[in-house]
Copies of this chain bind each other. A is one copy, B any other.
Amino acid sequence: MVREHISLKEAWELLKAHWGNRDPLVKNVPLSESLGGLLAEDIASPVNVPHYPASAVDGYAVSSNSTARATAATPVVLNTEKYQWVNTGAFVPPQYDSVVMVEDTSLKNDNLYVYISVPPGANLRPIGEDIVKGQIVAHFGDEVDPNLMALFYAVGLRELPLLSKPKAIFIPTGDEIVPRKPEESPAGLPPGKVMESNSIMLEGMFEQWKIPFVVGPHVKDDPEKLKEVLADAVDKYDLVLIGAGSAKGKRDFTANVIEREGQLIFHWVLMRPGRPALLGTVKDKPVVGMPGFPMSTMVVAWSVVYPLLQLLMKGNFDENKILDEAIRVRDKLSLPLLISHSSPQGISEWLRVKVVRLRDKKYAWPISGGSSSMRATADSDGFALIPPKIYECPKGKEIEVRLTKEVLWEKRVLFQGSDDPAVAQLVSFVRKRGADLVIRSVGSLGGLAALARGEAHLSAAHLLDPKDMSYNDTYIASFKPISDKWKRFLLFYRQQGFIVKRGNPKKISSIQDLARGDVRIVNRQPGAGTRVLLDSLLREEGIESASVKGYEDQTMTHLDASCRVAWGMADVALGIKFAADALGLDFIPITEEPYELVIPEEELTHPGIEALIDSVSDSKFIEKVKRMGGYRWP
């Protein structure tokens, strides 16, 4: 009976019930290929180590009797027949039973003066001291690491019985998929077609896990073809992964095909993303249906595929550690949230998170982006799995964060402020100075508010006060900053203008055009400097915002706004030139504004801020931003 809508814990129980505690398969592997393998048997040494009495020091082999009563004041003197120089590790011949360290002797005219009395066996490693022939040197289940490899080589083992690794195959499915080819480029792809890239991600994960993995033939949305490929796969592989087709759209055949050919064990796991995950068995081989979005594939690989691999290899896995191992967690921390988050109730939610240290306290926050976003995953420092019982996560609530990337806590600074692509260019300049910069685009006003709450190391703003046409002064004065003083740095001047379709088909050239009725705009979020600018321009011309179509449509960044124009959801957006260029749109300059960094005085000695301040005057940075267009240095 197929189990549906189960928790991850229940899924693991089902995995164990079906594939746990079987006798592991064993394979003899050459020593040179055994790194990372798991021993399938105890390994006994075929030789003694050392295999001869060896000196443990540099010194002289002597008979302990001949040193009796020697002291620093009354050394004994030995002639050349009574001693022999031995290096560390050298053979001590049978006529000697001990070694005097070179520091405890002196040599005069070939006579050895010994200043210390040594007992039999002194500074000597007897035969088998480290390892005796027949002694177990490594046990069933041990992982072969570099030290064990050297040990096995030293005792003469050239082949090892290892737990046989399961062989996995991944079958990508879907009419919209363009099968992976190195020469294939996304540049000329027709709409509706996408590059098959999940297999390259899984390939990398399996490489890190050191498990054999192949990509099978691409299968279009055709259940008969899937059935055929699956039958072949379960004959040749130990584990079959089917990409996409596990949800319940018109073409989600995976569950049906498994039910016809074998048995469906579970479908739908109460987690997000990854919910459509399914598991079945065909000819006793496990078959996993993996939803197709990249983040979903990744999550199902961690939480279903990796545990299965461990079961097939070792017969068991440790539920407390399995996810950390699968994810290759570098560090696990309980951190308070920097912003609030709503999680779906009754479902485990995988979050991509970023982290920062602010005034000696560490924080985490989730990155927005759906399960289709590979960029959000690339951006993240790690992941958090929010348990099903938790749904409202207010600011400050502690969540358990699994870090997968190295975080330079002491040298990382958090920018919260106005969105600008030139700021993103700063990251590498800061990193080359050994520090790190993290950017949250929350708008000019949002940034200043975050700074006032102590939730950022720096901000940036371009907030126009239409009363006196000043920038930022009025707004900064309206906050009561935690610290008394905020330093302001003019980074550059930038052009703001209309982003319109190529050729400007609606002939938009002035603010008045926005109220024309046949023109739809896309706006920015409240608090964004660009929105403040738009409001000011509208007021100047006496235009009510209600008369501007699309005024209520909000986007968070210049690029987002530009995307909407490119796609046709809007005719125009106010924004910067780079955003127009990026999407091949036209740009009509309207005004130029100062873009200022705002940094609390107390943060000026933070190594990340120091690196950043050094970076903004780096001529290579200035060059780079100038080439982007629409920027001017004072």
Contacts and interface: CB of A to CB of B under 8 A. Distances in A.
Contacts of A404: 145
Given A154-B197, A374-B130, A46 B187 contact: yes
A564 interface: yes
A146 B170 CA distance: 15
Contacts of A145: 204, 404
A564 B126 contact: yes
Q: List the 4 closest pairs (A to B, CB-CB), nearest first.
A: A146-B204, A91-B192, A52-B191, A140-B428
A198 to B, nearest CB: 7
B126 A563 contact: yes
A194 interface: yes
A207 to B, nearest CB: 6
A250 B191 contact: no
Interface residues of A, number: 130
Given A187-B46, A195-B153, A408-B318, A141 B563 contact: no
Interface in A48-72: 48-54, 56, 58
A339 interface: no
Interface string A318-352: 10010001000000000000000000000000000
A158 B431 CA distance: 25
B42 A425 contact: yes
Interface string A139-157: 1111101111111011110
A405 interface: yes
Interface stretch (A261-269, A490-498, A578-586): A578-586
24 contacts: A35-B204, A46-B187, A53-B567, A89-B192, A89-B194, A90-B176, A91-B192, A121-B564, A121-B569, A125-B372, A127-B567, A132-B559, A133-B582, A136-B421, A140-B427, A146-B201, A147-B377, A149-B201, A149-B203, A151-B374, A151-B377, A153-B195, A315-B434, A318-B406
Contact of A146 (B146, B158, B195, B202): B202
Interface in A521-571: 559-560, 562-564, 566-569
A541 B172 CA distance: 82
Contacts of A474: none
A138 B251 contact: no
A106 interface: no
Interface in A140-189: 140-143, 145-151, 153-156, 158, 175-176, 180, 182, 185-187, 189
A614 B263 CA distance: 34
A559 B129 CA distance: 9
A583 B42 CA distance: 20
Contacts of A432: 140, 315
A274 interface: no
B135 A582 contact: yes
Q: Which of A139, A176, A375 gathers most chain B CB within 10 Å? A: A375
Contact of A197 (B128, B153, B197): B153
A25 interface: no
Contacts of A505: none
A374 B563 contact: no
Interface in A182-223: 182, 185-187, 189-192, 194-195, 197-198, 200-205, 207-208
A47 interface: yes
A301 to B, nearest CB: 9
Contacts of A208: 35, 146
A373 interface: yes
B176 A582 contact: no
B87 A176 contact: yes
A128 B583 contact: yes
Contacts of A151: 197, 374-375, 377-378
A353 to B, nearest CB: 14
Contacts of A564: 121, 126
Given A35-B207, A42-B427, A58-B247, A47 B186 contact: yes
A298 interface: yes
A466 interface: no
A376 B478 CA distance: 66
A563 B52 contact: no
A369 interface: yes
A417 B121 CA distance: 27
Contact of A137 (B150, B318, B378): B378
A294 B374 contact: no
A277 to B, nearest CB: 16
B141 A191 contact: no
B316 A154 contact: no
Nearest to A369: B130
A249 interface: yes
A421 B21 CA distance: 27
Nearest to A131: B375
A566 B127 contact: yes
Given A89-B194, A133-B583, A134-B578, A321 B139 contact: no
A525 to B, nearest CB: 15
A88 interface: yes
A358 to B, nearest CB: 19
B150 A51 contact: no
Contacts of A198: 150
Residue among A147, A405, A584 facing the most chain B CB atoms (10 A cut-off): A147
A120 interface: yes
